[in-house]
Amino acid sequence: DIVLTQSPGTLSLSPGERATLSCRASQSISSSYLAWYQQKPGQAPRLLIYGASSRATGIPDRFSGSGSGTDFTLTITRLEPEDFAVYYCQQYGYSPTWTFGQGTKVEVK
Amino acid sequence: EVQLVESGGGLIQPGGSLRLSCAASGFTVSSKYMNWVRQAPGKGLEWVSAIYGGESTYYADSVKGRFTISRDTSKNTLYLQMNNVRADDTAVYYCARISGSYLDRWGQGTLVTVSS
């Protein structure tokens, strides 16, 4: 089974700073099958990025995704107050299965 | 507007049964693949089960043989029947709509607590 490892576990930044979140897969995966979600306390996850780099409907362009093979990145160019949350990457497998990373918390420094 | 609303969670004893519901609006559950995903308190997301067209169903190893996913097209509702529950089934359970390889709409979740 493919394992997704996210780093860092916690990212402490100030509003206006750039956030770079990493998601590493234990084996190569198709970029088409990599997604990112945002989850705020007490809320359901929200789809941000699918196909590694396509923004979901209504997602601001300060969010971008990139990567291929085993290494994927979510970048938030300038953190807004509402961006402080936990972010998960997710991979789709053919069984089918959906595998999530353990999450990266972006917190206010 | 697409909306998913879960219900049916609560406190249940180990070994007991519970059925979760997910009422959909803005689309028909029979026309989409649907998932259940859970999140233990303070933990990350874990896929639980999926239902595809033709009623093909899939389960995580942790729930296989104990949980059953189904849907009622007349009520436009997705279900998760949970039998022989264990303490490690304690979690918020989310239903989510599948779009290709990702989950594009999520419900607000319903909490299941397994405890004696």
Question: Bridge-partner residues for A35, per DSSP?
Answer: A90
Q: Which two tokens stand for residue A40?
A: 């705020």
Answer whether B106's CB lies under 8 Å from B99's CB.
no
Q: How far, in Å, CA of A57 to CA of B19, rounded? A: 32
* Model pLDDT, residue A102: 98
Q: A12-21, A41-50, B11-20, B53-62: lowest mean pLDDT where?
A: B53-62
pLDDT per position as a tens digit, A57-79: 999 999 999 999 999 999 999 99
DSSP string, A6-69: EE-SEEEE-TTS-EEEEEEEEEEE-GGGEEEEEE-TTS--EEEEETTTEEPTT--TTEEEEEEE
Cis, bond preceding A96 (omega within 30 deg of 0): yes
In angstroms, what separates the C-alpha of B107 from chain A's closest C-alpha? 7
B-chain residues within 8 Å CB-CB of A98? 35, 37, 47, 50, 103
For residue B31, report the phi and psi dihedrals to the nearest 5 degrees: -95, -5
For residue B95, give the nearest of B7, B10, B16, B17 by alpha carbon: B7
Is B50 within 8 Å of A56 when comparing Cβ atoms?
Answer: no
* Rounded distance between C-alpha atoms, residue B23 and residue B78, angstroms: 6
DSSP-derived letter for residue B17 is -
Is residue B35 within 8 A of residue B98, CB to CB? The reply is yes
A24 Cβ under 8 Å from any chain B Cβ: no
Residue in the structure block whose two tokens are 């996850």: A45
pLDDT, position A1? 87
pLDDT interval class at A94 (50, 70, 90):
confident
Which of 64-103 (A) contact B at CB < 8 A? Answer: 88, 90, 92, 95-103
Which residues of chain B have a CB within 8 Å of the CB of A40?
none
> d(Cα B30, Cα A99) in Å, to the nearest integer?
24
d(CA B20, CA B103): 19
Torsions phi, psi of B10, nearest 5? 160, -165
pLDDT in tens, A15-35: 999 999 999 999 999 999 999
| Residue B91 binned pLDDT confidence (cut-offs 50, 70, 90) | very high
